[in-house]
Each structure stands twice: as C-alpha cells, then as structure tokens.
Structure 1
C-alpha cells in the first residue's frame, strides 16, 4: 500500500527535527535510563487477538537504525523485514518475520506532527500464524529498544447487525402525525426525528421521544465544511440518498493507489467496499442517520443532511470492517489517523471493546496504548473553524451492562446510550459508569410495531435483498444521532461566526438534553423487568438538536412538561430580583401557540412564567419587564427601562411529578 521510497526518504530528512513523544511513559534509553520489566511492556493479552501479527513501539533511539534499514530495503525494492538492530533482529529471525512496517505511513505535510505525537514509533510485524503469540510478545518485550508490545485485539460493532428492509406502505395516520418542511417520502417513519406517539410504530410510543430536530432544520440543516468520519463498515458512496453528501478527497494519495476518493478500506487495504459476504450495511445505515440527503424527494432524512441544495455535512468512509475481516486495533488506529489528517472534525464510532473488559481509563490507556494515542491525535486536530479540536463519539455498547464499553467509556470521549419510541431505555443498552448521553437506538422486537420501532436509515441493496432502506437497532444507531446533532451544532456555529474549545462544545452538547429520569420509576416494560435500574445512568438526558442550536445562538431554553400548568422561575435570566419585577408583555405567535397546543396565553404569575403545553415541540417566546420601578419611562414621566428576553420553549413529555411510573 505504501510508497516506501517516499516514506523513508522523507522520514530520514525529518530525523533531526523529531520531537519527543508527549505520551511517552519511559525516557529515551541511555546509560542512566531505568530498565523496564518485560511484563510491563506487554500491554494486553492475546485473548481474541489477530494471529501472526504483533504491534510494537520502539524507543526513539532505535528509530534511526530502523529508518536507515528501511531506506536500504527500498533501494533494492525489497520488503523491510529486519530492524538493523542486532538484539531485535535475532528475534525477528527466529520468528521468521516476513514484514515490518510503520503502523502509520509517512504523512506528507502532517509528518512533523505525526512524529511529535510519537506515532512514527509504532510498527507492525507479520509472521506465520502458527507462531505462539504470547511467546513472541515475551521475547520482543525482553529487548531494550522496544518499549511496548500490543496484541491486535478484535473490535465489534455495537449492533446485532440484523437488518429489516423497509417496505413502503400507505399509512394516512402516520403521515398526518408528522409535519416537516422536507419532502423525503419516508420521513414520517423516522420516529427518532419526530415522534408524535404514532401507534403504528408502537402502542407505547410517547410524543417527544425523539431528538427534536424539525425546528432545528429551520435554522440549519448542515454545512459541507463539517466532515464526519464514519469509522465502520464501508459507506455505499453510490447510494442515491448519500452520494451528494459524500466527502471527496481533493488530493488522492499514491499511498492509497490514488483510490481514496471518499475514504479507504483499512481492513482490506483497498478501496471502500460494501457488498461482500459478511457485510451488513452497518456503516451505510450509520452514515444515513448522520447525513442522508434531505429534501431530495426520495427515501429518508439525515440529521445533518442539508436542505437538498448541496449544503449537508460531508461523510468520510474510514472502513474498519470488511466482509469477514473483523476490525482490530491496527486497522481502527490507522482509520482514526487518516480521518485526522484528511479534515474530519467528528469521529463517528459505533463499535468498541465489550463492556467489562476495561473498567477504568488507566486500564484502557495501559492495555490499548496505540488506540489511545491515535484517538488523542485526532482530538488534537483543528479541522473545523468552529471547533478547536476533534470531537470523538462512541456507542456505549449492547451488553445490557451497567458500564460503558471502551473506548466509549474514556472520560474525554462521548459515550451514547439508547432508548426506544416508548421514551424508555432499550433492553440491550449499556448504562451507568462512563455513559454520557442518550439517543434513539430503537428496539426491533418487543414493541407492537416490530421492526418499525427500530431506526430507519439507508442500507446497501446488495446485502439487504435489494432494499436501499431499512431498520436496525443498537447503540450503533443511537451514536450517529449524537454525531449528527453535533454536526448541526458546528454548522450553525460556522454560520454565526462562533468558535469553541473542545471542552466548551462538549459541555453544550451534553447539556442540550431532555430529561428521561422522571420516567424511570418503579415499573417495567415488555422487554425490561425493572426500568428503575437505569435511573441516573443514561447520561445527562436525551440529545436535543434544537436546544444545542439555541445554546450556540445564545437563546436560553425553558423546558416545559406536557399536560401540566408550569410555573417557571426566571431568576437565572432576569436576575435574583426576578420575582419582584413588573412584567409588561409576553409575546408568542398564534402559530407557535397552536404548535405547542397552548390554549391559554402564557402569563406571569407571582414572578413566574405560567404556561401549559399539550403538544411536544419548540417555539420562541419574548418576555418584557421594567428595570427600575413599576412603570416605563416616557417623554413626560420618569420611569424604568423596558428590558426584553427571548427564550426557546422546549415542550416534552415527562414522568409523573413524584417520579412514579406512567
């Protein structure tokens, strides 16, 4: 795959400029360097690891010899199989190593930062699959020039990968329930975007159990400058509902045979693919949720798919699962690095290591150091004018376990749990420690609508009986909703000329939510015996696209529960004296009142906003008060100043006031 001559000549020129790896735990070897125990160098176990291959990290002092040896091999057009270091090559000879190459190829204009991060020190060895992995790792760890040895642990999709092809059926009730400005004919089946308690989806559907995106689309529906890397199965870039939103590489690289037009298949080391035996359409389904083309008169909508005018966010396919080839640490790390170097600002990852294998951040860093370093490299890149860093979003996992899987559970990455159209956790979702936010992942069995209670998105006709659309379930399906909402947020920030630090944006994203805990009292649903075990463990709440845009806009949000008269204090908006102010006016359009099912006009009562909404939705309201006195100043009368605040009202279902089961 790699242009070795280019790699090695460039690498030799950069040797003098190499920086120390900021994540290096061990000082460079020298006369005073401490010896490292062999057992400490072996990062993980060989359980469920790829045979015939190991990943090693060399000390910085070994790199000149390695790269000189690589230059010599390149001159004779032979594969690099030895390091040029006697103590290492003795072992490589015994293992009959047939390949030795950098994990992360020479990165051109990005090589300096690659080396500064220490990623140039990771190498992958290939040898016969019959070799004992553990013995090979022990021997390699016993030489001073190698600082880490990592097995290539396999990764798994956060979904059962079952697909249910979409069958178009006329349903007047469903169509009438969903209104939107877009003309995509099957949007009305995407309850996860607009849920108005459609009984065809589930008799237990709850209005507002969605991501509240319809009103967000009126403000922005995506921006092509925002690139989302779909690290997954290959994305079908010819799909009629995805093609217009696919990222196009402006400079395809010889290292990828000039064929990395929309991304690369890192599992098979070739062009993106999606129709092989073993493929499920998982990556295409995920991509459709992020940015299927909106308002194009066909199929479905994507969260950040634009308005049909070429304005959706762009999808980069970084393929790590291909047919029967399972993703692993090597493949995923290469994909993450590629995304960072090619402009992605959001990393969409619906896969990981099963919950319970890693139980702390330190364990993840120690046992998956190369994965961690690649992810941190992505997080450090500033590929979007609105964000000082790369946003990493993972699915929490589907083991029904009270902790997130990893890398999702790491404190700097966003871990997404899953709920169903009944506004309750999905039976498979992980929850608890490490989980940050909830999104619709659906439930294709156990609810009355069957597969319709799953998530509807794009599929590959080659692997789904000719269907271009279909349903799937999983935290895999929840994760791209959050990635799409984040992409909408960055799109709106670009339009508003706003720029945020990574921490600032993550804080806004994780606080733009609707609560779920009030629904998790004592009780059950068809697929969960006791929903109360999820209380306080689904993350901050359910992701809300409109609320995120309001935060970016600077408009405060007032959250209102449906069906009850609410008295909302305005202290945090009008100051500590809010209850003593004289309020002069409340403005809300008749259209917005009708949309939220408001029969009686909102008013102020004892310094609080009194409002009752009977329909889920979002709308704007303006409240005016007098600053100083009880009357406004006029030309002839001294008085106070009229001040006005605009709010976004977010009306959503909530549980009973006592937190009991509904």
Structure 2
C-alpha cells in the first residue's frame, strides 16, 4: 500500500505524473487501489441456486465474500464451488471468505448462499508504490552514536533515540509485524532481528512462506529498518534495535495492496503473537472509501473486521496518515480515485462517510510526518480525528537543514528493490540503503517507539500501549500555515491546523520521543 497519487502539477515533486518521491503521495506509499467497474451485490439469506449459464471470462478474479454477523462459514467451500469458484481462504473468525472465479455471475451466485451478506470482486483494485527524485547522494557524516551511517540519521537524533538506547534498546520478546511490500531478511541490518516464524507472504490472499527476494519493491525493507535495524557496527540503527521484526508481505511485486492481502495480514498478526503492526500504506480501492457505496462498503467492512480482530487479540495497529496534504476529518474532494488502471481517476465529492483504511479505523494510531525543523511535512495529510502522533518522515522542500541536507530519511533497502533512484542509494559494506520521504517513513518511527515502550513495560495491554505512545511525545503547536500555500488540499483549499498544543490536527499529541518512552 504504499503508492502515490496524482496531485496538481504545482505540487512539483509530489505530483504522481512526475513520479515524485514522497513515497508516493498516498500514505506515502499510500495504498491506492483502483476500482474498475466491479459489482457488489448486497444479498439476503437463502439457499444457493445453481448459477445460470453465465459467460466464463477466462480470467480469474478474486472475490471477498462477507457473511452476516453471527453466520457460520462452514459451508463456504460448497457455496463457492457451486457458484463456479475456488475457495482460497476461509477467515471464519471474522466471517470473510476469499475466493477466485472466472464466471461473470460469481458475485450474484455466491450471494444467494445462506448467511452471505455481500460479495465483491477485488482483482481490479490496486495501489501502487512509486517513488522517485533527483537528489545527489549525501556523504556520510561522522557517527557519534550508532553504526557507520548513523551520522546521517537526523531522524533518530530528533526523537532522542541515542539517549533512549543508553537506557533500553528493546527486548527480543517484543515483536513488530511490518505489513508492507515484503522484507529483505538477508540484509545485514535486518537478519539479526528477523523472526521467520512470525513472518508470512499474504500476497496470494492466504499465508505462504516468505521467500528470499520477496521484496522486489523495497518499501517494506525501508520501513523495517527504521523500526528495528540492528546495532551491529555497520549501516544504520533502528528505533528499537533489539526487538524482533516480522515481515508480513501484503502486496504483489508491483506494490499493489489488494483487500484479500490486507485481511490475510491482520488475521495473521492476530494469531501469531505480533505485538505491534506498522502500516505504511493506504488499503482501499479509493483514496476515500465511501460507505454509502455498496462495493466500497463491503471492502471497508471486511478490512475493518480484520483490523478489529487483530486489536481484540492484543495488537497495536500504527498507520501512516497519508501524503495528500488533506484534512481527513473534513474531506471534500477526491481527485485521485480510482488510481488503477493508470489515468482512470475521476474527481468526486466526498464526506465524512468516506474513510481511509487503515488510519481511520477506530483504535488505529495515526501518524503524521515532520521534517528536520519539527514542522508538519508539506505532503502529510492530517486531521483532528485521525492524527494521534507525529514522527520524522522527511521534507525535501520546506525543511532542508545542515543536519538533513536532502530532507529525507535513510534506511535499509532490499537487494532486489526497484523504487530507489541511484541518486538516493547508499551502499555500505555491500548492503543497500535508500533515502525516502513520506508518512510511510513516519509511521515506523512511531511503531519503533511503541516497541520500546512495550519493552520497558511488558505487561501493557494494547490499549494501554496506545495511550502511553500518545503520552511519550513532545507537544507541538500549530505553525504558521502560510508556508504550505503552494501545497493546498485536493479541493484547492489551503491547509489549516486546528487545536492547541495539547492536541491538534497537524501533530496529534506531539512528536514521539523515544527517551520518554523508556524513562
């Protein structure tokens, strides 16, 4: 999920047409999915009738089948097969089934099964991660803390990670699941902390082993390094370098996060001892998933069930706010959906009935991005109801400093990743690192701080951990928003900050502080 969306050309480097690098404007790597004439049928219970002779399209599509609350999915395989499909996964705990079929009437046919509430195709939904830019590489500064490239980690110094590590750098029993494009577990900065038993590949909609070379995008390896890169003398150091990191691949190799992949990922996290999930993507077919539309509502409900199931099982869900410079609490216009196939977006009006997943799901900790001047990054979305904390995500336009000369965040990168331009690539002792920016980079900082908190207070529940994370911050007041004049919201309205220093729409309760987390 983690791809970008188009913005007016005036937004320069964050315009998708120029493939800017803000780890794609959508949740920095916001997951965007495209919606292509897919049909959803809301159905009443009843017995399954044999499907009429319907055309076999010859192309397999993936479907989500939602059962009504309390209904059992025990007959799911028979229902799917009778409708002309194949059962892929039965997530009975949340009443969701994943199926594939090439029949044009599959949704309607399976919808006649007893207990089915709705069915919707997902095969034409997608969100792609794109990221490019034109910075020259930055020479490594002398490291006064950490590993060989730590002198370039302005982001860690900004949230007091070096001071925190003098007290607590995490414990191995705390596990962070990075739901993303995959994870290069052969990377020397990730291998020491990689938990293979809790890692999986959900790109097929059902859990499979995570193979070598799984992260052909690179986004997931980058976010994983920010969370838990090892303090091993080379490369960088993560926020929590002694916790365990699990890779949960939730996209295909092109960086598209389909609903069945996201659902699989949260059910996996719920049942495999994951303490915190980092979610640097936007997981719906539309930038805003409107619940007054039957098709979008079905996907919203399925993903919400999966996230709620994880939360109920003790998982803290941390998510990127997004890269549209938009107030998610007061949305008015969506100009980027659907974003797949390319050039298929249509401007539409949206309201508070339309929500971004996962960041606007109840109980999710939403993270906005800051730059090296501790101001909200020019691209970061925000909102009083969705922004809980802020964290360094980079800002290559408004916040260039001597400490952050290109404004971006350096982290680990996959050996087979494709989204890092040569100009932003750093190779250290044969391993790759890349400079990226976006709320996708901010979220793993917050996830890492949550892992430090849990390391220091292992008995915390996920609810207590959420409250503690929002308390381990340095409050920031609303800035002079005239600096964002060149980066309006999708509607063309200026960015505005609401609230006081205790909590506001730009920073939530404030920027996370690793030292406060361990004291």
Is it true that 1:291 corresponds to 2:291 in the alignment? no
Q: Deviations over 1:99-151 (max 9, x none)?
A: 124333xxxxxxxxxx5xx33x43222111xx44xx54344334444233244
| Aligned equivalents of 1:163, 1:237: Cα separation in 2 | 26
Alignment of 1:107-186 (within 5 A): 118-119=93-94, 121-128=95-102, 131-132=103-104, 136-152=106-122, 154=125, 156=127, 160-162=130-132, 167=137, 169=139, 171=141, 175=142, 179-180=144-145, 182=146, 184-186=147-149
Q: Deviations over 1:72-102 (max 9, x none)?
A: xxxxxxxx6x43xxxx766x1xxx42x1243
Question: Aligned-pair distance for 1:217?
Answer: 1.2
- Aligned residue number for residue 470 of structure 2: 510
Worse overlay, 147-156 or 425-434: 147-156
Is it true that 1:335 corresponds to 2:269 in the alignment? no
Question: Aligned-pair distance for 1:299?
Answer: 0.5
Q: Deviations over 1:179-236 (max 9, x none)?
A: 43x3x02111111111xxxxxxxxxxxxxxx222222111100110000001101110
Question: Aligned-pair distance for 1:329?
Answer: 1.3
TM-score normalised by the chain length of structure 1:
0.56
- Aligned residue number for residue 6 of structure 2: none
Alignment of 1:272-421 (within 5 A): 272-273=210-211, 275=213, 279-294=216-231, 296-305=232-241, 312-324=242-254, 326-352=256-282, 353=284, 355-358=287-290, 367-381=299-313, 389-403=314-328, 405-421=356-372
| Aligned equivalents of 1:473, 1:41: Cα separation in 2 | 46
Give the conservation status (yes or no) of the 8 Å contact 2:259–2:299: no
Structure 2: unaligned runs, 5 residues or longer: 1-39, 46-58, 330-355, 499-503
Count of residues in correspondence between the two structures: 411
Is it true that 1:242 corresponds to 2:201 in the alignment? no
Q: Deviations over 1:344-371 (max 9, x none)?
A: 11011111235433489x9987642222
Structure 2 residue matching 1:491: 3-state secondary structure: helix
Structure 2 residue matching 1:148: 3-state secondary structure: strand
- CA separation of 1:65 and 1:507: change in aligned 2, threshold 3 A: closer
Give the conservation status (yes or no) of the 8 Å contact 1:219–1:492: no
- CA separation of 1:485 and 1:339: change in aligned 2, threshold 3 A: same
| Aligned equivalents of 1:211, 1:522: Cα separation in 2 | 23
- Aligned residue number for residue 486 of structure 1: 450
Structure 2 residue matching 1:214: 3-state secondary structure: helix
Match of 1:436 among 371, 388, 399: 388
- CA separation of 1:443 and 1:160: change in aligned 2, threshold 3 A: farther
- Aligned residue number for residue 542 of structure 1: 511
Give the conservation status (yes or no) of the 8 Å contact 2:43–2:116: no
- CA separation of 1:239 and 1:506: change in aligned 2, threshold 3 A: same
Structure 1: unaligned runs, 5 residues or longer: 1-36, 43-49, 67-79, 105-114, 195-209, 250-261, 306-311, 382-388, 551-662
Question: Aligned-pair distance for 1:454?
Answer: 0.6
| Aligned equivalents of 1:403, 1:359: Cα separation in 2 | 15
- CA separation of 1:168 and 1:435: change in aligned 2, threshold 3 A: closer
TM-score normalised by the chain length of structure 2:
0.70
| Aligned equivalents of 1:507, 1:364: Cα separation in 2 | 31
| Aligned equivalents of 2:512, 2:369: Cα separation in 1 | 11
Question: Aligned-pair distance for 1:485?
Answer: 0.2
Question: Aligned-pair distance for 1:275?
Answer: 4.7
Give the conservation status (yes or no) of the 8 Å contact 1:446–1:527: no
Give the conservation status (yes or no) of the 8 Å contact 2:150–2:236: yes
Alignment of 1:78-97 (within 5 A): 82-83=78-79, 92=83, 96-97=84-85
| Aligned equivalents of 2:319, 2:229: Cα separation in 1 | 20
Is it true that 1:222 corresponds to 2:170 in the alignment? yes
- Aligned residue number for residue 455 of structure 1: 409
- Aligned residue number for residue 202 of structure 1: none
Give the conservation status (yes or no) of the 8 Å contact 1:235–1:273: no
Question: Aligned-pair distance for 1:280?
Answer: 2.6
- The structure with the largest alpha-carbon Rg is 1
